[in-house]
Structure 1
Amino acid sequence: MTDRRNIAFVLPIYNEEGNIPLLYERLTQVAERAAERYVVEFIFIDDGSRDRSLELLRALRERDERVSVYSLARNRGHQIAVTAGIDVADADAVIVMDSDLQDPPEVALDLIAAWEQGADVAYAKRRTRDDGFLKRLTAGGYYWTLSKLARIDIPRDTGDFRLMDRRVVEELRRYPERNRFIRGMVAEIGFRQEAVLFDRDARHAGTTGYPLGKMLKLAADGILGFSSFPLRLISALGLTLAVGAGVWTLYLAISRIVAPENQVEGWTFLAAGMFLLGGIQLLMLGVLGQYIGRIYEEVQHRPLYAFAVRETGPHDPA
Structure 2
Amino acid sequence: MPSQPAVSVVAPCFNEEAVLPEFLRRVGAVLDAMGGSSEVVLVDDGSRDTTWEVMSKAAADDPRIVAVQLMRNHGHQLALTAGLSVCRGERILIIDADLQDPPELLPDMLALMDGGADVVYGQRRTREGEGLFKKLTARVFYRTLSRITEVEIPHDAGDFRLISREVLDLLISMPERHRFIRGMIAWIGGRQVPLIYDRKARVAGESKYPFRKMVKFAADALTGFSVAPLKLSTSIGWFMAAAGSLFTVYTILGTLLWGQTARGWASLMAVLCLLSSMQFLMLGALGAYLGRLYDQSKGRPLYMIREVTCTGDRPVEPLRGLGWGHRNS
Q: TM-score range by the shorter chain?
A: over 0.9
After TM superposition, the structure 1 = structure 2 runs for residues 189-208 of structure 1, keeping only pairs within 5 Å, are: 189-208=188-207
Shift, 1:197, TM fit = 1.0
Alignment of 1:113-262 (within 5 A): 113-130=111-128, 131-260=130-259, 262=260
Query: Structure 1 pair 13/248, CA: closer, same or farther in 2 (3 Å)?
Result: same
Contact 1:64–1:314 (Cα < 8 Å) also in 2: no
CA distance in 1, matches of 2:103, 2:76: 18
Cα distance per residue 1:131-157 (max 9 Å; x no partner):
222211111111111111111100011
- Please give the residue correspondences for 1:260-275 in structure 2 after superposition, counting only pairs within 5 Å: 260=259, 262-265=260-263, 267-275=265-273
Per-residue CA distance 1:210-243 (angstroms, 9 max, x = gap):
1111111111111111111111111000111012
**Residues 185 and 264 from structure 1, CA distance in 2 versus in 1: closer, same or farther, beyond 3 angstroms?**
closer
Q: When the two structures are superposed, what TM-score results if normalisation uses the length of structure 1?
A: 0.95
Structure-2 residue corresponding to 1:307: 305
Where do 1:87-106 residues align within 5 Å? 87-106=85-104
Aligned to 1:73: 71
Task: Write out per-residue CA displacement over residues 27-53 of structure 1, whole angstroms, 9 at most, x where no aligned residue.
Answer: 111101211xx3110000000011111
RMSD, matched Cα: 1.7
The question of 1:29 aligning with 2:38 is answered no
Query: Are 2:5 and 2:88, in contact at CA under 8 Å, matched by a contact in 1?
Result: no
Distance in 2 separating the partners of 1:270 and 1:134: 37
Distance 1:242 1:265 in 2: 21
- The alpha-carbon distance between structure 1 residues 263 and 109, as it changes in their structure 2 partners (threshold 3 A), is same
SS at match of 2:155: coil
User: Are residues 1:63 and 2:61 paired?
Assistant: yes
- Deviations along 1:243-281, one digit per CA (max 9) or x if unpaired, are 211121122112211011x33555443233222211111
1:292 matched residue in structure 2: 290
Aligned length: 315
Q: CA deviation at 1:2?
A: 10
Counterpart contact for 2:18–2:204, Cα < 8 Å: yes
Q: How far has the Cα of 1:3 moved from its partner?
A: 8.9
Which residue of structure 1 lines up, in the alignment, with residue 320 of structure 2? none
Q: 1:62·1:315 contact (CA, 8 Å) conserved in 2?
A: no
Contact 2:63 2:312 survives alignment (8 Å): yes
SS of 1:146's equivalent? helix
C-alpha contact 2:4 2:88 (8 A) present in aligned 1:
no
| TM-score, scaled to structure 2 | 0.92
Return the alpha-carbon distance in structure 2 between the equivalents of residues 155 and 284 of structure 1.
Answer: 28
Give identity over the alignment, percent: 41
Q: Would the aligned equivalents of 1:72 and 1:308 in 2 still touch at CA under 8 Å?
A: yes
- Taking a change above 3 Å as real, the CA distance of residues 224 and 132 of structure 1, as seen in their structure-2 partners, is same
Structure 1 outlier segments of 4+, above 6 Å: 1-4
Label 1:5 to 1:49 Cα distance change in 2 as closer, same or farther (>3 A).
Answer: closer
Once structures 1 and 2 are overlaid, which stretch shifts more, 273-282 or 91-100? 273-282
The answer on whether the counterparts of 2:5 and 2:39 sit within 8 Å (CA) in structure 1 is: no
Q: Which runs of 5+ in 1 are unaligned?
A: none
